[in-house]
Protein backbone atom coordinates (compact mmCIF):
# COMPACT_ATOMS: atom_id res chain seq x y z
CA UNK A 1 0.00 0.00 0.00
CA UNK A 2 1.03 3.50 -0.81
CA UNK A 3 0.76 6.17 1.88
CA UNK A 4 -0.74 9.38 0.48
CA UNK A 5 -0.02 12.53 2.39
CA UNK A 6 -2.84 15.05 2.15
CA UNK A 7 -2.42 18.74 2.96
CA UNK A 8 -5.76 20.04 4.13
CA UNK A 9 -4.63 23.13 6.09
CA UNK A 10 -2.53 26.27 5.79
CA UNK A 11 0.90 26.66 7.24
CA UNK A 12 1.59 29.40 9.76
CA UNK A 13 3.75 31.24 7.22
CA UNK A 14 0.91 31.35 4.72
CA UNK A 15 -1.44 32.79 7.37
CA UNK A 16 1.07 35.45 8.45
CA UNK A 17 1.66 36.56 4.85
CA UNK A 18 -2.10 36.73 4.20
CA UNK A 19 -2.66 38.82 7.34
CA UNK A 20 0.19 41.13 6.32
CA UNK A 21 -1.33 41.69 2.88
CA UNK A 22 -4.76 42.39 4.44
CA UNK A 23 -3.15 44.88 6.85
CA UNK A 24 -1.45 46.77 4.00
CA UNK A 25 -4.63 46.87 1.91
CA UNK A 26 -6.67 47.97 4.96
CA UNK A 27 -4.21 50.78 5.69
CA UNK A 28 -4.41 52.02 2.09
CA UNK A 29 -8.21 51.96 2.10
CA UNK A 30 -8.34 53.77 5.46
CA UNK A 31 -6.00 56.47 4.12
CA UNK A 32 -8.16 56.95 1.04
CA UNK A 33 -11.33 57.23 3.16
CA UNK A 34 -9.70 59.85 5.41
CA UNK A 35 -8.49 61.85 2.38
CA UNK A 36 -11.95 61.73 0.80
CA UNK A 37 -13.55 62.81 4.06
CA UNK A 38 -11.19 65.79 4.43
CA UNK A 39 -11.73 66.80 0.80
CA UNK A 40 -15.50 66.63 1.25
CA UNK A 41 -15.29 68.73 4.42
CA UNK A 42 -13.21 71.40 2.65
CA UNK A 43 -15.60 71.46 -0.31
CA UNK A 44 -18.57 71.90 2.04
CA UNK A 45 -16.87 74.88 3.69
CA UNK A 46 -16.09 76.44 0.29
CA UNK A 47 -19.67 75.84 -0.88
CA UNK A 48 -21.16 77.32 2.31
CA UNK A 49 -18.84 80.33 2.09
CA UNK A 50 -19.82 81.00 -1.53
CA UNK A 51 -23.52 80.65 -0.69
CA UNK A 52 -23.09 83.08 2.21
CA UNK A 53 -21.26 85.57 -0.03
CA UNK A 54 -23.92 85.39 -2.74
CA UNK A 55 -26.82 85.71 -0.28
CA UNK A 56 -25.21 88.67 1.50
CA UNK A 57 -24.33 90.35 -1.78
CA UNK A 58 -27.93 90.00 -2.95
CA UNK A 59 -29.26 91.49 0.31
CA UNK A 60 -26.87 94.45 0.06
CA UNK A 61 -27.56 95.15 -3.62
CA UNK A 62 -31.33 94.92 -3.07
CA UNK A 63 -31.14 97.32 -0.13
CA UNK A 64 -29.07 99.84 -2.09
CA UNK A 65 -31.41 99.63 -5.09
CA UNK A 66 -34.39 100.20 -2.79
CA UNK A 67 -32.84 103.47 -1.54
CA UNK A 68 -31.32 104.53 -4.86
CA UNK A 69 -33.37 107.67 -5.46
CA UNK A 70 -32.74 111.36 -5.01
CA UNK A 71 -34.73 111.23 -1.76
CA UNK A 72 -32.04 109.26 0.04
CA UNK A 73 -28.43 110.11 0.55
CA UNK A 74 -26.52 107.29 2.18
CA UNK A 75 -23.95 107.70 4.92
CA UNK A 76 -21.20 105.10 4.95
CA UNK A 77 -19.34 104.05 8.05
CA UNK A 78 -16.87 101.18 8.42
CA UNK A 79 -19.48 98.42 8.61
CA UNK A 80 -22.73 100.37 8.64
CA UNK A 81 -24.85 102.19 6.06
CA UNK A 82 -27.56 104.64 7.03
CA UNK A 83 -29.51 107.45 5.42
CA UNK A 84 -29.10 111.09 6.42
CA UNK A 85 -32.14 110.87 8.70
CA UNK A 86 -30.53 107.92 10.55
CA UNK A 87 -32.66 105.17 8.98
CA UNK A 88 -30.64 101.97 9.15
CA UNK A 89 -30.06 100.37 5.77
CA UNK A 90 -27.35 97.84 6.56
CA UNK A 91 -25.16 96.99 9.51
CA UNK A 92 -22.69 94.18 10.12
CA UNK A 93 -22.15 93.42 13.78
CA UNK A 94 -20.62 90.30 15.40
CA UNK A 95 -21.50 87.80 12.68
CA UNK A 96 -24.92 89.20 11.75
CA UNK A 97 -26.01 91.29 8.78
CA UNK A 98 -28.90 93.55 9.79
CA UNK A 99 -30.80 94.88 6.79
CA UNK A 100 -33.55 96.62 8.71
CA UNK A 101 -36.36 94.08 8.44
CA UNK A 102 -34.14 91.00 8.24
CA UNK A 103 -31.21 89.75 10.30
CA UNK A 104 -28.93 87.20 8.63
CA UNK A 105 -26.45 85.16 10.68
CA UNK A 106 -23.14 84.72 8.87
CA UNK A 107 -20.74 81.92 9.78
CA UNK A 108 -17.91 82.38 7.28
CA UNK A 109 -17.94 86.17 6.75
CA UNK A 110 -16.24 87.81 9.72
CA UNK A 111 -16.51 91.45 8.59
CA UNK A 112 -18.23 93.59 5.96
CA UNK A 113 -16.76 97.00 5.08
CA UNK A 114 -18.35 99.77 3.03
CA UNK A 115 -16.28 102.45 1.33
CA UNK A 116 -17.15 105.25 -1.08
CA UNK A 117 -14.68 105.48 -3.92
CA UNK A 118 -13.39 109.06 -4.37
CA UNK A 119 -15.91 111.42 -5.95
CA UNK A 120 -17.75 108.79 -7.97
CA UNK A 121 -21.08 107.14 -7.35
CA UNK A 122 -19.35 103.84 -6.70
CA UNK A 123 -19.45 102.12 -3.34
CA UNK A 124 -17.02 99.31 -2.62
CA UNK A 125 -18.29 96.53 -0.40
CA UNK A 126 -15.67 94.13 0.98
CA UNK A 127 -16.34 90.82 2.71
CA UNK A 128 -13.55 89.58 4.97
CA UNK A 129 -13.80 85.79 5.15
CA UNK A 130 -12.97 83.39 7.98
CA UNK A 131 -9.59 82.55 6.41
CA UNK A 132 -8.63 86.27 6.01
CA UNK A 133 -9.38 86.31 2.29
CA UNK A 134 -11.27 89.31 0.98
CA UNK A 135 -14.05 89.42 -1.58
CA UNK A 136 -15.07 92.83 -2.95
CA UNK A 137 -17.71 94.09 -5.32
CA UNK A 138 -18.86 97.52 -6.49
CA UNK A 139 -22.27 99.11 -6.25
CA UNK A 140 -23.05 101.86 -8.74
CA UNK A 141 -25.57 104.34 -7.35
CA UNK A 142 -27.76 106.03 -9.93
CA UNK A 143 -28.32 109.02 -7.66
CA UNK A 144 -26.20 110.56 -4.99
pLDDT higher than 70, residue 144: no
Compute the average pLDDT of residues 113-117: 89
| pLDDT tens per residue across span 78-100 | 888 888 777 778 889 888 998 87
Q: What's the pLDDT score for residue 99?
A: 86
Each residue of 5-31: pLDDT tens digit? 666 778 899 999 999 999 999 999 999
Residue range 38-69, pLDDT digits in tens: 999 999 999 999 999 999 999 999 888 888 87
Pick from 135, 136, 122, 112: nearest CA to 68:
122
Report, as an integer, the average pLDDT of 106-135.
89
Sign of CA dihedral 93, 137, 53, 73: positive
Per-domain residue ranges of the chain: 52-140
Task: Please state whether the predicted TM-score (pTM) of the whole model is above 0.85.
Answer: no
Amino acid sequence: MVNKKTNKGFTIIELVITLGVFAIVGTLITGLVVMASNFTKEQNIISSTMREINDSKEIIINKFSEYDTDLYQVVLEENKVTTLDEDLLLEFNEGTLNSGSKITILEYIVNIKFEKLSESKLIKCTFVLHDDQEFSFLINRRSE
